[in-house]
Amino acid sequence: MSIQFKKETFRNDYTFRNSQWAIDRFPFPFHEDSYMYSVNMEQHQGGPKGSVFEKRFDVDEHYLSEMEDRAIVLAEDPLRCQSLPHMTLAGWDLLELIMVSKSEDYPDLFELHREGNNWRWVNKPMNIDDQFVFMDETTLPYGPMEYITRQTQGDFAVLDQRDDNLWMDAGMVTTQADWSLDFDIGMNFFEWHAPVPKAHEMGIFVRALKFLLNIQQGSPARRLNWTMTVNPLLDTSPENYHKWGVEKSTLAKENVGEKQHLRVELQTFFRLPRSNALVFPIRCYLIKLEELVTVPKWGRRFHRVIRDLPEELATYKGFINNRPMIVEYLSAFDDGQPTSDGIWPD
């Protein structure tokens, strides 16, 4: 099917909604009735037809509105996009990866024409038709990473690999779950994960780093992560916490199904060929509780997960105060029936 792009907002009047198509393909992240950290990695080599796992870079109905929201964030705060000088080559790698992937995966929406280093990129949904010289920054309106990530949903952390570690040396981060590129830039893998509770003691990060360092060209990987967000806000950044943090206190019995969202990140990992850097796209999918509970299995399971989540995790994910209200709302959709294994609806 061709995608019907929606005009909607992720701020002020919050007109964001999922269509039935988007609900049906939502990446529900819980494969069982409880949740604990794990290095839940798998190969990113396609997935069920129509699912968000199918393409290398998923494009959905929220594409144009998400790109508009990103442009607003960048206009207010240019430091959301940064690239240390040695990361320009990785930026070209990323531009190539996305242009090749999107033009192959969505030929009706994107075209890439290459003659040597003379490239022409056509992005039909965004009305872009640009000619430039590959590896020549002066021929693009932005640096290569910024240029392509202004046209691609999801945040991007571009990680340099050296000294058996990964370093947050470039990124485009405007749809983040309360972390800051400007704060983390230049940090290594253990430094930027320092605030996460429990996982260090469990040895999660040592194992995860070992896995990531060994991701090879042609063998990308993926995992899901999740948190909770009040109102469909893409930009839940520390920089703007004074704006969105207070919105958590607007949650009430009458509006919890409409305002409370499950926020799922599809995290993918690709080795970049010329720079040997690793790119870490973090794609955010939002769904209102009232949309989520339309799938009976998800309603039952989500109630049990949220109810039984360890306190540290509910605190870290920022919804400890609202948890009783959320659990009460969800309990109406849990009839106690058993749920089937795996994330897919029955």
Partner 1 sequence: MSAGTNKIVVTVTDIVEINKLVKRFKFERADRGQLPVFSGGAHTVVEMLDRGVTRLNPYSLMSDPMNQDAYTISVRRDDEGRGGSLFMHQQVKVGDELTISYPVNLFALDLRAKKHLMIAGGIGITPFLAQIKQLSALQGHFELHYSVRNKTVGSYVDELTEIYPRNTHIYYSDHGQLIKLVQLLDGQPLGTHLYICGPKSMIAWVRETAASIGWPREAIHYEEFLAPQSGKPFEVELKQSNKTICVGEHQSLLEAMEAADVDAPYLCRGGACGQCETNVISFDGNFFHRDHWLDDSQKASGKKIMPCVSRFEGKSLVLDR
Q: What are the distances in angstroms from CA 90 to CA 1, 239, 322, 343?
A: 33, 26, 41, 34
- DSSP β-ladder status, 165-172 and 155-162: antiparallel
Do the beta carbons of residue 287 and residue 261 sit within 8 Å?
A: yes
State the nearest-atom distance from the C-beta of 273 to partner 1, in Å.
5
State the nearest-atom distance from the C-beta of 275 to partner 1, in Å.
6
Smaller CB distance to partner 1: residue 98 or 177?
Answer: 98
Smaller CB distance to partner 1: residue 141 or 218?
Answer: 218
Q: Which residues contact 58 (CB under 8 A, 6 or more apart)?
A: 52, 153, 266, 283
State the nearest-atom distance from the C-beta of 162 to partner 1, in Å.
5
Binding site for partner 1 (CB under 8 A): 41, 43, 85-87, 89, 160-163, 210-211, 214, 216-219, 273-276
Of 11, 25, 56, 223, the catalytic one is 223
Smaller CB distance to partner 1: residue 124 or 274?
Answer: 274
Encoded amino acid at 30, one letter: F
State the nearest-atom distance from the C-beta of 62 to partner 1, in Å.
32
Q: Which residues contact 324 (CB under 8 A, 6 or more apart)?
A: none
Cα dihedral sign for 39, 44, 47, 50? positive
- Helices 323-331, 296-308: crossing angle, 10 deg rounding: 150
Can you tell me the distance from the alpha carbon of 162 to that of 92, in angstroms, rounded to the nearest whole number? Answer: 19
Smaller CB distance to partner 1: residue 113 or 274?
Answer: 274
Residue 223: active-site member: yes
Q: Point out the residues that are catalytic.
A: 223
